[in-house]
Amino acid sequence: MFDFVRKHTKILMVVMFLLIIPAFVLVGVDGYQRMNAAGTSVAKVGSRTITQAQWDAAHKYEVDRMRASMPGLDSKLLESPQARYDTLERLVREAVLEEALSDSHLNVSDARLAKELQQNPTIAALRKPDGQLDMERYRALVASQGLTPDGFEARMRHDLSLRQVQGGVVNSAFAPQGVANMALNAFFERRDVQIARFKPADFEDKVKLTDSDIDAYYQANSAMFQAAETVDIEYLVLNLDAVKKTISVSEADLRTYFEQNAARTDAKEERRASHILINAPKDMKAAERQKAKEVAQQLLLKVTEKPDTFAATATKFSQDPGSAAKGGDLEFFGRGAMVKPFEDAVYAMRKGEISQLVESDFGYHIIKLTDIKTAPKPTFESERAKLESELKNQQAQRKFAEVAETFSNGAYEQSDTLKPLAERLKLDIQTAKGVQRKPAPGTTGALANAKLLEALFAADALEKKHNTEVVETASNELVTARVSVHTPARTQPLADVKAQVKARLLASRSSEMAKAEGTARLAAWKASADTAALKESVLVSRERGQAITGTLLNALMGADTQTLPAWVGVDLGAQGYVVARINKVLPRSEPEAAAAAQERTQFTQWLASAEAQAYLELLKARFKVQIKVQRPDPGAAAADNNS
């Protein structure tokens, strides 16, 4: 073998040349660089390395999951630098726990795994009337997740092992009643205050601006008045709607589909209920879960005695953020929409009835059934439009992958035009003018996607006017675009932005005058309190429903009150300046028994969370965590959102 290589070296060199050069032609140097970049390390945790490719894949999974659960969510939030960094931090946290798990040699016994499987409500629903698990349905369930029963149980065992890493810290968190009361009483104490506001608007008439002032401000702050770099573009969007336009469904197919789905289209009874939830997740310590149950029992007694107070009680005490503000109302829902214990209780109740405590994986529910409705049995004609849409959607889902490949190849093969691809796939070429590197406020759809905008402003797209790479801007949505006109960033002439310059300068000067007046009054009133012109006193606290919130509230509640009265000056920027006098410090209002118990439970959960976070930071130091990507600047993100 080696003799053959030595004797035919030149021939082998030619063969290798013929193999390597086509690879470079097809992939290109950039392709190899991208492949190398995908393996770039973005974080290191002990012996584990997190690569750029792993980060990208994890964030794509997270974005798809969020889009599926909340279709109306602004895509800008999902693709922001902060959102991507949050995903990286989650990967780091998981890697830290994996390292700790490996280091501690923690295991989960078969008995512990069996108990967890028995308590899983999804698996419990698969049991037959005799209590035996329906193995056929169980295999189908785990197969829908791409797993075998053994794989599913191995993953669950691993998840339980990971929980043990922080479980010892979280489950041992304990807040004595005295400590909890001291902290909560201090946090919710009340303060009697009088304030005087100095608003910039009250000083605008006193500001005198000359043309030289405006010109000087413009020269000093010219960066504020730049016209952003923009591009005019044309682009193609391939999504399920576009594919559906090419699909036609016959009458026979529709009738067959209707008959096959007759059971699904039968009239369904829906019920409307309100509930009060006291959080008690299944991994909560038994003692804390018992406290939560006692809180729920007290609330149950209250609403049973006075049913008319159910909505008000839910608003005040329910820990379900989605329904508490609506008096606990969950609106109409059918079977399968709620967890099984909740559903079973609702469908066993009469209208207007209030349930006993219902325990689920979320905690303890008190349920009131408010309405019941049954829709009339649908006919083929009444369901026709819906059935046609569903059938087209199913066929489009199956066809999308095939069309997506054609779309991607076409955008690359004819990179200087979109017209042939549009004609081939019957897509409309869309246009947009004045597109910037960051999406304008209120922008939705493809042009709000950060990756597409990044591709549009890449050198290949700007200089050579080539089609961008195909970008996935949403689930089952691909976009390619090309730049038709590029306008570089430039400072706008003063004549064009004079009104903006004047408005900014006026706001700046009036804010300065408001602050100067406020600080002068503060000094004078401290020296001579009798001269203070303050409004009538009000009680402020951190309890809900306060008129004073935010920065001002934090300043008032954080002020040193060892000597009373205490004076505070608060600069609110564009909102002006506030001078406040704190006259008294009063204890918090005595909470109801149910509220007090709920607060102590919440305080213990906060303490457990803080201790878990502290332990995680300790583990990060132990395993020498390195995140090689700079954390996004929150201020810059806020500025981008407001620009």
Instruction: Mention every residue, 6+ apart, whose C-beta is less than 8 A from residue 119.
Output: 282
In the structure, what pLDDT confidence band is assigned to residue 71 with cuts at 50, 70 and 90?
low
- Rounded to whole angstroms, the Cα distance separating 188 from 195 reads 20
For residues 588-611, one letter each, b for 16 or more C-beta atoms within 10 angstroms of the residue's C-beta and e for the rest, the string is eeeeeebebbbbbbebbbebbeeb
198: alpha, beta or left, given left = phi > 0 and alpha = psi -120 to 50? Answer: beta
- Rounded to whole angstroms, the Cα distance separating 299 from 595 reads 9
Q: What is the pLDDT of residues 141-183, one digit of tens each?
A: 777 777 788 888 888 888 887 778 777 777 777 778 788 878 8
Contact 427, 237 (CB under 8 A): yes
DSSP-H helix ranges across 466-549 = 494-527
Instruction: Mention every residue, 6+ apart, whose C-beta is less than 8 A from residue 443.
Output: 76
Q: What is the pLDDT of residues 251-299, one digit of tens each?
A: 887 787 777 776 555 557 889 999 999 999 887 888 888 999 999 999 9
Q: What is the 3-state secondary structure (H, E, C) of 366-404?
A: EEEEEEEEECCCCCHHHHHHHHHHHHHHHHHHHHHHHHH
Q: Looking at the predicted structure, is the pLDDT value of residue 591 above 50?
A: yes
Q: Looking at the predicted structure, is the pLDDT value of residue 512 above 90?
A: yes
DSSP string for 252-276: HHHHHHHHHTHHHHS--EEEEEEEE
Q: Who has greater pLDDT, 8 or 97? A: 97
Residue that is written with structure tokens 């839910």 in the block: 314
Q: Looking at the predicted structure, is the pLDDT value of residue 469 above 90?
A: yes
Q: What is the pLDDT of residues 198-246, one digit of tens each?
A: 999 999 999 999 999 999 999 999 888 888 899 999 999 999 888 888 8
User: At residue 473, what are phi and psi to the nearest 5 degrees?
Assistant: -95, -15
In the structure, what pLDDT confidence band is assigned to residue 68 with cuts at 50, 70 and 90?
low
Share of residues in the chain with pLDDT > 70 (%): 89
Sequence-distant contacts of 603-607: CB under 8 A, at least 24 apart = 603/175, 603/180, 603/183, 603/184, 604/173, 604/174, 604/175, 604/180, 604/288, 605/288, 607/173, 607/174, 607/175
- Rounded to whole angstroms, the Cα distance separating 317 from 287 reads 20
Average per-residue pLDDT for the chain: 83
Which CATH code for domain 267-374? 3.10.50.40
Q: Looking at the predicted structure, is the pLDDT value of residue 9 above 60?
A: no
In the structure, what pLDDT confidence band is assigned to residue 577 with cuts at 50, 70 and 90?
very high
Token representation of residue 154: 């191995």
In the structure, what pLDDT confidence band is assigned to residue 72 with cuts at 50, 70 and 90?
low
User: At residue 373, what are phi and psi to the nearest 5 degrees?
Assistant: -145, 150
Token representation of residue 496: 């064009």
Token representation of residue 288: 């804390």
- Rounded to whole angstroms, the Cα distance separating 638 from 14 reads 58
Helix 81-104 and helix 634-642, axial crossing angle in degrees, nearest 10: 150
Q: Who has greater pLDDT, 441 or 404? A: 404
Share of residues in the chain with pLDDT > 90 (%): 36
- Rounded to whole angstroms, the Cα distance separating 254 from 388 reads 7
* Average pLDDT of the residues in 376-393: 78
What pLDDT is recorded for position 615? 86
Q: What is the pLDDT of residues 305-341, one digit of tens each?
A: 999 999 999 999 999 988 999 999 999 988 888 888 9
Q: Looking at the predicted structure, is the pLDDT value of residue 22 above 60?
A: no
Q: Who has greater pLDDT, 433 or 250? A: 433
Burial classification of residue 621, based on how many CB atoms lie within 10 Å of its CB (0-12 exposed, 13-18 middle, 19 or more buried): exposed
